[in-house]
Structure 1
């Protein structure tokens, strides 16, 4: 059983404050919803408290900025900070440096390919948190695909567009499958359904 202490509630409060002004793409849902969802999945799949805390904080560098690198390490320790670092494919500052649409797409593709290569050899502790993050995101996309008021327009929210987004999640599914990640059965099923509802006649992979 995973025991959650005051460190977890401190991390929850840290995430709440850091992401206070942020919402999920295409919605008015507070971003904290996603972080709670990831932490819940981490616990569901047997993660320990450090991994659950990393689930709450996994986007803080990417979405809130570089200063959080040192703050997370100082407040929550090396085990948490290392997972957060491993789950980060770019800081808020580095992503904001690209303003041209094509430059953003090139940067997106580079970051995603680098992240896929990183996952192939990432520690198991990281793999669980990352996989739960991707599963929660994939389920959110699937929910929108199943919503007739949104449907395939959901891909307009993403820099990678329809093919890039489908390809990225297919490639993620393949990496997690090869690594034997605990959540991979659910992720594979979700990604397959995403492809079907998006009208993809075959599985698109980012790395092919």
Structure 2
């Protein structure tokens, strides 16, 4: 287990001081022991370990990952803030303390949940944004293992995740975390709706596989001619984003055309606009469907060009164009800009 975590860290930060990770791993494992079981029947330590793996996927620094391993030690065992500070350092102790304080916040009404949680999160953010990132990783692993809880608890946690944690992940620009939190929450909030859309999406993607590949092949040929370095892929839209369009905008599934978006990654901003020009010479753009988030980034730092064009068969499809660096920020958000220690 430990080797996997260390290898993940060294892959993006070869100079990392992994001795801190080894120490935190042993410390947390020792304090949690094998007797405290999660609902799944696994040793409790599997939870902080998985939180640390998620933080490594986000390319976080060593102190944050160590705090991820230790994040439940003060709350669930007899270890104290002073113990963590003495064994590790003040920074790790403060991160653990911040997560512990956030975990104690309980919300009753929807309004109270939204207002109070946001206030708490903003206070924590102003001290150290990494507290929030650990908390998001903690919630993500909890919702991945929600099937082991009672139906009442499942719905309660899912609603809280959708109302509080997914919007905060969005605010921090952490799209990959946001999408997974939303999709997994929906599974428990509206199981029938989730299953229905999942099956329809699966079927539509199967039908459109050849069609999407044809578009990709056309684009690849033109971009090679223009001598642009690029990566291109068909990206499935999240289940929750489709659900929202259906239930909040009263659309049928058949009316939603952008189940898959095509994403093009390039090296420079100049190439982004060059690719956009190529796309618009190949297919007719839909009026009012072009968005330039490069010139006008979203508040959460997201940058990309979005255009919807009409294909040869008259069907609209969406294309997103951004640089590799913008893509890293789009997926990891504020975590992408964290400096390794």
TM-score over 0.5 for the pair: yes
Structure 2: distance between partners of 1:17 and 1:127: 25
Deviation at 1:119, TM superposition (A): 1.7
- Which residue in the other structure is 1:83 paired with? 95
Go from structure 1 to structure 2 and tell me whether the alpha carbon gap of 1:4 and 1:137 turns closer, same or farther (over 3 Å shift).
Answer: farther
* Structure 2 residue corresponding to 1:136, chosen from 123, 136, 141: 141
Once the two structures are superposed, residues 63-118 of structure 1 have per-residue CA deviations (whole angstroms, 9 ceiling, x without a partner) of 114x4211001111111111111111378xxx8xxxxxxxxxxx832697755432
1:87 touches 1:130 (CA, 8 Å); kept in 2? yes
- Structure 1 residue 176 corresponds to structure 2 residue 176: no
2:169 touches 2:177 (CA, 8 Å); kept in 1? no
Which structure features the higher share of helix residues? 1
2:31 touches 2:77 (CA, 8 Å); kept in 1? yes
- Which residue in the other structure is 1:154 paired with? 150
Aligned residue runs from structure 1 range 59-138, under 5 A = 59-65=72-78, 67-89=79-101, 108-109=106-107, 114-121=116-123, 122=125, 123-138=128-143
Deviation at 1:120, TM superposition (A): 2.8
Given the two structures, how large is their TM-score scaled by the length of structure 2? Answer: 0.45
- Greater CA deviation, 67-76 or 108-117? 108-117
Structure 2: distance between partners of 1:36 and 1:169: 21
SS of equivalent residue, structure 2 residue 106:
helix
2:102 touches 2:120 (CA, 8 Å); kept in 1? no
Deviation at 1:179, TM superposition (A): 2.6
- What are the ranges of 5 or more consecutive residues in structure 2 without an aligned counterpart? 1-11, 194-242, 245-341
SS of equivalent residue, structure 2 residue 145:
helix
Which structure features the higher share of strand residues? 2
- Which residue in the other structure is 1:192 paired with? 183
Structure 1: distance between partners of 2:141 and 2:91: 22
Once the two structures are superposed, residues 183-208 of structure 1 have per-residue CA deviations (whole angstroms, 9 ceiling, x without a partner) of x43333333333244327798xxxxx
Given the two structures, how large is their TM-score scaled by the length of structure 1? Answer: 0.70
1:19 touches 1:32 (CA, 8 Å); kept in 2? yes
Structure 1: distance between partners of 2:59 and 2:181: 20
Once the two structures are superposed, residues 24-72 of structure 1 have per-residue CA deviations (whole angstroms, 9 ceiling, x without a partner) of 1x2220111111111111111011110010000011122114x421100
SS of equivalent residue, structure 2 residue 101:
coil
Structure 2: distance between partners of 1:53 and 1:112: 29
Comparing both chains, which one has the higher relative contact order based on Cα–Cα distances under 8 Å and sequence gaps of 6 or more? 1
SS of equivalent residue, structure 1 residue 109:
coil
Structure 1: distance between partners of 2:89 and 2:117: 23
SS of equivalent residue, structure 1 residue 51:
helix
1:43 touches 1:52 (CA, 8 Å); kept in 2? yes
What is the aligned-residue RMSD (CA, Å)? 2.8
Would you say how many aligned residue pairs link Structure 1 and Structure 2? Answer: 172
